[in-house]
Copies of this chain bind each other. A is one copy, B any other.
Amino acid sequence: MKLTQAQLDHFNEEGWILLENCFSPEEVAVLNAEGEKIYAEDREEVWRETSGAPRTAFAAHTYNEAFRRLGRHPRLIEPVMQLLDGQVYMHQYKVNAKAAFDGEVWQWHQDYGTWARDDAMPAPRAMNIAVFLDAVTAANGPLIFIPRSHKQGVFEAGHDLETTSYPLWTLDRASVTRLAEAGGLVAPTGPAGSVLMFHCNLVHASPPNISPFGRTIVYLSLCHVDNHIRQFKRAEWIAHRDFTPIACLPDDCLAELTAAAE
């Protein structure tokens, strides 16, 4: 699994790239079934919306076999090693539910803003992968990016502790407006099994999910091993401290579980 030069150029210029149908419906079904089990558990890694609906499950790769395999999948890790030019480790791993009706907003932010401020990650030599476990559409709270906003470093941000149950360093409205007037807005949508890669300084947000269907996305945040975090203020299951380079599993590592489930 290698990205083409055109894909690399798009990522570097726009800050993101969408790969449709990276995973088969069967592979997605395994992950969805395991995600449901995790959300039903009462554990500290599972955060809930104000309503009680699941919002995010942290570090699922450390306590669930299917998500462990996804976190070492060559279709995800190899392109990231290409983009970050070297070996990578898992900085953060989230299964975000965006529950039907109750899934709340994520305000405008840069992920690296949080990693720099909270975790003392030295440089934005890190990135995100979003694996769609449901179709992402205009109707169910898609990610909204401001293209090219990743090229200007870390913006000023305020620590938003009120909007939702999850604390987030968010940009002010004037900055968001200025950036969007320059770069526009894009909401990459696609079928379940698609993969969206984006730069850790790309400014993004997502609206609430008012639809009657859940919209689960797995987020892998990967960091070059040389660029590991220096400060351990947040829980280990939020900002990981195992900087071992990820060794990929075979391409059929998830398909194997499909077969086992049949």
Q: Which residues of A contact B (CB under 8 A)?
A: 100-101, 105, 107-108, 137-142, 144, 173, 176-177, 180-181, 185-187, 189, 205-213
For the complex, would chain A's binding face be called helix, strand, loop or mixed by DSSP majority?
A: loop
Q: In the complex, A142→B141 CA distance in Å?
A: 11
A141 nearest in chain B by CB position: B207
Residues on the B chain within 8 Å of A212, using CB: 173, 176-177, 180-181
Residues on the B chain within 8 Å of A141, using CB: 207
Residues on the B chain within 8 Å of A181, using CB: 212
Given contacts A137-B187, A176-B212, 8 further A-B contacts (CB under 8 A): A107-B210, A138-B189, A139-B144, A139-B185, A177-B212, A180-B213, A185-B211, A207-B209
A178 nearest in chain B by CB position: B212
Residues on the B chain within 8 Å of A105, using CB: 208, 210
Contact of A208 among B100, B108, B176, B208 (CB under 8 A): B208
Q: In the complex, A141→B189 CA distance in Å?
A: 15
Residues on the B chain within 8 Å of A138, using CB: 137-138, 142, 144, 187, 189
Is there an interface contact between B144 and A211, defined as CB atoms closer than 8 Å? Answer: yes
Q: In the complex, A138→B142 CA distance in Å?
A: 7
Q: In the complex, A177→B212 CA distance in Å?
A: 5
A173 nearest in chain B by CB position: B101
A205 nearest in chain B by CB position: B210
Is there an interface contact between A180 and B211, defined as CB atoms closer than 8 Å? Answer: yes
Residues on the B chain within 8 Å of A210, using CB: 105, 107-108, 144, 205-207
